[in-house]
Structure 1
Amino acid sequence: MKNIYKLGTLALLGTVLTACTFLDTEPQIIPSDGYYTNETRLKYGLAGVYGALNSEELYGSYYSLQIANPDDLCYFNNYNNGETRPDRYNHSAGTAVIYETWLKLYEGIKNANEYMDEVGKSEFDPEELTTDIKTYLAEARFLRAFYHFLLAQAWGDVPLRDAAATSPNPVNVQIAATPQEKVLKWCVDEIEAIVYDLDESVEHTPSRVNRTVAEGILARIYLFMAGETVDEVEGLTKQEMYGKAAYWANEVIASQKHHLNESYDQVFINMIKDQYDTEFHESMWEAEFLGDRTSSTNWTNGRIGDLIGLKSQSGTTNYSEWACNYSYGYYNGSYTLWQLYWSEDRTSDEASSTEVIDKRLLWNLPGYNYRGLNNQQISYKRGNETVTAVLKQDQSMHKTPWLYKNNFAMPEIEGLDMSVENAFDPADLVYDPTIMCAVRNAGKWRRETVYENQMSAKSLYTTINFPILRYSDVLLMYAEAVNEYAGAPDEQAKEAIREIRRRAGISTDESQMGNQQSFRQLVRNERARELAFEGLRKWDLIRWGIFVERMHMAGTNVPTESMYLNKTITDYAAGNYANVSERHIYLPIPTKELAVNHALQQNPLW
């Protein structure tokens, strides 16, 4: 459980702050001279640098869900919502979510700069420190680079702030944008400069950054730098950047400190249950959310599982009886994602199967949610006889299968009223796993109470963590980088793909790994299947140069048979996809920022 780095109770500026763990506080940087006099205060200040990650503006909701999550695999499904939102691609430079995310990233950078400045001025007795001071500074410097990476990836050219500002000095406010490629190069230079100062062990991951996390993020940044939308980087060819990405990904693999969990589901169950995986360490770095806001001392900023998850709503307020805690379930997996699981890249032996083969489909796009089917009559033929059964599924008390004309998308039905005449016989169940496959909720972040703690209140904020880096992503990055660098996959790259697919329960057609082009497509598809809903696919599509094309394809890739879709929802999704144009490769510079920093100019097309 999350019980590391107990800070105890700190007397701070006359206020008593209780912190149960390293990151479960609203941390603030204390830049005054002489504050950082001991290790407890070092940790407290460092928590302030990490704090932006665990905000609602970043991985709690705005960045992770509204900005990074809407792609060709995932869409916002609330057809009653007419707002301007990033996940509907009808946002503008004045959209609040865009500004709040920008602001939070620069707040993280500000905290990092101030922390490094003040710690650098402080004097410590090395014998009183359990961790080398270089490690604290390296973590802060890494985070400063990571925040800049997120900015440059999403906005393109952005101000590079590598020193603490002396407010209200206008020089520190009026800063022009640095070209995207120079910001990205600065990011990798910064991380490479401190990567060997970071902790080698995985004892404190996924809460804190260690050496292998930095190596994995270096691979991610180099892959993005090598992409189609980034201008030429001085001193590095695209091929050399692929080589760098392969090198750093291989450093993680060679460390033997991370492995694939034997169960794909368990990777996310651990996050939902608020637990660390101390056996496999597949989840290398997570944004942590440690409370549910049921009290002022049990606070969090995370809405993972609430906004994205299995829809679970009811008028019943006895929450202790719910089988799935409250969730709006605002995000669905697209038909494109379904096809990737159901039919793409199958071997000849699997091609004709009508059963689920890829285990990840059952976790990410389950055949049920908790919307309820109260007193719904189901009529079907039993021989020449018509039989009527009644479902009395109280919302959020039972799994509610997706159904079409009495055919169900899951084999187990709960909540049948067996007292009616000619009651439903489970043996008569018609099970079709493909039903309503184009409108299913994103199930990766489900709030089922068998995993998440049972709630006693509605609790829209959750303790569910969000992964920033997983080992399976490192394997996939290595496979892609080597293929692009060398012109063909090596045996390690091929085995990385086999390993991921074996865990998913699917075989691999070796002919797909025979040349650069076929292997490239297999890796891209595997990234989609493995990392769906984790906020990475959009940036993949952008760096591959196919973002607009794939988004439009997802909008028109809709099944024609009614058993696969709810037309109201898919029409709404198609409209959101149709909004996408070339200008959405970058976010607009927020209007409020332009009003303050006159050295900035709006992004082209905005």
Structure 2
Amino acid sequence: MKTKHIITSVLAVTAISLGNISCTDDLNQFPHTETTSKEVYTNLSNYKAVLAKLYTSMVVNGQGKGGENADLSSNNGQDYMRCWFNLQECGTDEMASTWLSGDKTGDITYLSWDANDPWVADMYYRIYYNIALCNEFLRNCSESTISSYGESEQRELRLFRAEARFLRALFYYHALDLFRNIPFVSENDPVGSYVPPRYTPVQTVAFIESELNEIAPLMYSARECPYGRASRGAAYTLLAKLYLNAEVYTGTARYSDCIVACNKAIAEGYTLESDYAKLFNADNNKRTNEIIFALPVDAEHTVTWGATTYIICGEVSNTSADQKPEDYGVKNGWGMYRVRGELPGKFENESADTRFRFFTTNQTRHLETIDNQTNGYFSEKWSNLTDDGKTASNTVDGGVNTDYPLFRLADVYLMYSEAVVRGGTGGTLSQALDYVNRLRRRAYKSNAGDIKERQLTKDFLIDERARELYLEGVRRTDLIRFGLFTTSKYLWQWKGGTKNGMAVDSKYNVYPIPTSELTANPNLYNENY
């Protein structure tokens, strides 16, 4: 039986304190600790505690409640997933930020950032802080070290090591997707004055691919995996994402490989949750049938003002007299964002498609002014309510209790379908159509939304991905893959900073490495910035 938040309750992250790490120091350095590594890595319990830190470093930004005793001294001081969500959603057709100045989201909203943008810098340093944590764990979890333990402990340590390698691969994937040409450092590189080399996307893709293929057989199966930890299904899903976007990253299409990876993930035995809304509520830890890899968030053990707290409190107005915070399980709304009009416009039948979850009362669909809270619908996709409609936590004191479903089966179905439509071999159009219609039957509660084979096109799929996956942190990557993010092929309101939208320089398909890091590492440079 899977228990919620095993990572944060059983594998108590506070057992070992990992202190601050400077943003501009060499990226290969190990995290400074209050005790030395020699003292920390002495028993299985301590390894579990450090592994917990690797996982929770995606949703909390420090050792104390809500990010107190911060890991990093940074511009905004926000957690990994708040940074990721903003960089993946703010500049797209899905999200309209409200506090452009106060939250410093103006440049990422209008696709006009530079190498000094605070959100871009925070994301970069968050990624490499997490990579540093993984590298230090792996330095102390070598085969020679493992061999000094008993047989049962050796099995657990090898699982820990595989999971740490998975997390590092995930962090490198995020770095690749956002920044393309990136510094690379592993546990095999020296600690101290070593200056990491600049890896091309071809090199980074090769590393991630090799790591995931090697570790997947060593990881828990989906059925055996403790909740909140990564299974081989997560490894196959990440591989599928890598292959689906490989042509963007390297110029070489890998759609057939994407289909293979999707098939392996699906073969782990996942099934669709019958109720779409329950994937995003405070009991979503129960949806392990569909959610492949979740990031646990908990108002007692993993308090965060970012991650899902930011998404849920942020989607509720703090000025509307019509929208009630208690309807979403929050004490008050933050009014951080609404959705741009293009997103609800993609739903063919608003009343029948249960994925159409927007608050519309006294809200305009389109945005005369992007930072006016009455312009644009508010999302109702996420909530801090339990299955029986009860508030899960006091969000003022502890944030939300809703986990972040980073990977889920619906995305795998859509990746498979897109790879087939793009010409990948090893799959069939009939199977792709079946997967898409399974999603639409869930959405419509009938076969009324089924499509025909001739309708399964790239244009359909980019819109279906929006309908199914909106505000899940994938939209920027999707728009880039379809050639729509910076070009004039698809304009949305306020794209590029104008009301009717405009094309922007193609350099905005990639975020720049922060100026401070370029100064610290002479091997790095930004094209076009």
Relative to the length of structure 1, the TM-score reads 0.70
TM-align CA RMSD: 3.6
Closer, same or farther in 2 for the Cα pair 1:545/1:185, shift >3 Å? farther
**1:277 matched to 2:286:** yes
Contact 1:285 / 1:469 at 8 angstroms: preserved in 2?
A: yes
Contact 2:182 / 2:198 at 8 angstroms: preserved in 1?
A: yes
**1:329 matched to 2:342:** no
| 1:560-597 deviation line (CA, Å, top 9, x unaligned) | xxxxxxxxxxxx97459558431210001101101211
**1:477 matched to 2:415:** yes
Whichever residue aligns with residue 220 of structure 1, its letter is K
Q: Which runs of 5+ in 2 are unaligned?
A: 20-30, 62-77, 366-372
2:316 to 310, 313, 323: 310
Contact 1:159 / 1:177 at 8 angstroms: preserved in 2?
A: yes
Residues 68-467 of structure 1: pairs in structure 2 closer than 5 A: 68-78=89-99, 83=104, 84-120=106-142, 121-122=144-145, 123-129=147-153, 131-163=155-187, 166-169=190-193, 172-173=194-195, 175-204=196-225, 206-226=227-247, 229-232=248-251, 237-238=252-253, 241-256=254-269, 258-269=270-281, 273=282, 275-277=284-286, 281-291=289-299, 299-302=303-306, 303-305=309-311, 308-312=314-318, 324-342=330-348, 356-361=351-356, 363=357, 365-367=358-360, 401-402=361-362, 439-447=376-384, 450-455=389-394, 458-459=396-397, 461-467=399-405
1:553 to 491, 494, 501: 491
1:493 match = 432
2:459 to 506, 509, 521: 521
Q: CA deviation at 1:40?
A: 1.2
Q: In 2, distance between residues paired with 1:321 and 1:356? A: 20
Closer, same or farther in 2 for the Cα pair 1:133/1:92, shift >3 Å? same
Contact 1:31 / 1:114 at 8 angstroms: preserved in 2?
A: no
SS for the counterpart of 2:192 is coil
SS for the counterpart of 1:553 is coil
Q: In 1, distance between residues paired with 2:326 and 2:482? A: 47
Q: Which runs of 5+ in 1 are unaligned?
A: 16-25, 344-354, 368-400, 409-435, 558-571
Closer, same or farther in 2 for the Cα pair 1:218/1:253, shift >3 Å? same
Q: In 2, distance between residues paired with 1:4 and 1:245? A: 31
| 1:213-239 deviation line (CA, Å, top 9, x unaligned) | 11111101110103xx3233xxxx52x
Q: CA deviation at 1:323?
A: 6.5
**1:583 matched to 2:524:** no
SS for the counterpart of 1:33 is helix
Contact 1:333 / 1:440 at 8 angstroms: preserved in 2?
A: yes
Contact 2:159 / 2:219 at 8 angstroms: preserved in 1?
A: yes
1:18 match = none
Contact 1:312 / 1:329 at 8 angstroms: preserved in 2?
A: yes
Q: In 2, distance between residues paired with 1:323 and 1:37? A: 43
Q: In 1, distance between residues paired with 2:34 and 2:124? A: 19
SS for the counterpart of 2:421 is helix
| 1:287-323 deviation line (CA, Å, top 9, x unaligned) | 222237xxxx7743533335631214699xxx99997
Closer, same or farther in 2 for the Cα pair 1:451/1:543, shift >3 Å? farther
Q: CA deviation at 1:68?
A: 4.3
SS for the counterpart of 1:129 is helix
SS for the counterpart of 1:276 is helix
**1:531 matched to 2:469:** yes
| 1:80-121 deviation line (CA, Å, top 9, x unaligned) | 759444234332211222112111111111111111111114
**1:605 matched to 2:518:** no
Q: CA deviation at 1:72?
A: 1.6
Q: In 2, distance between residues paired with 1:552 and 1:483? A: 20
Q: In 1, distance between residues paired with 2:103 and 2:36? A: 44
Q: Which range moved further: 59-68 or 494-503?
A: 59-68
Q: In 2, distance between residues paired with 1:191 and 1:594? A: 29
Q: CA deviation at 1:181?
A: 2.3
Closer, same or farther in 2 for the Cα pair 1:277/1:82, shift >3 Å? closer
1:48 match = 53
Contact 1:31 / 1:118 at 8 angstroms: preserved in 2?
A: no
Q: CA deviation at 1:475?
A: 0.7
Whichever residue aligns with residue 334 of structure 1, its letter is R
Residues 18-37 of structure 1: pairs in structure 2 closer than 5 A: 32-33=37-38, 35-37=40-42
Closer, same or farther in 2 for the Cα pair 1:54/1:479, shift >3 Å? same
Contact 1:85 / 1:95 at 8 angstroms: preserved in 2?
A: yes
Q: In 2, distance between residues paired with 1:82 and 1:11? A: 33
SS for the counterpart of 2:236 is helix
Q: CA deviation at 1:192?
A: 0.6
Contact 2:276 / 2:443 at 8 angstroms: preserved in 1?
A: yes
Larger Rg: 1
1:426 match = none
Contact 2:329 / 2:390 at 8 angstroms: preserved in 1?
A: no
Closer, same or farther in 2 for the Cα pair 1:595/1:356, shift >3 Å? same
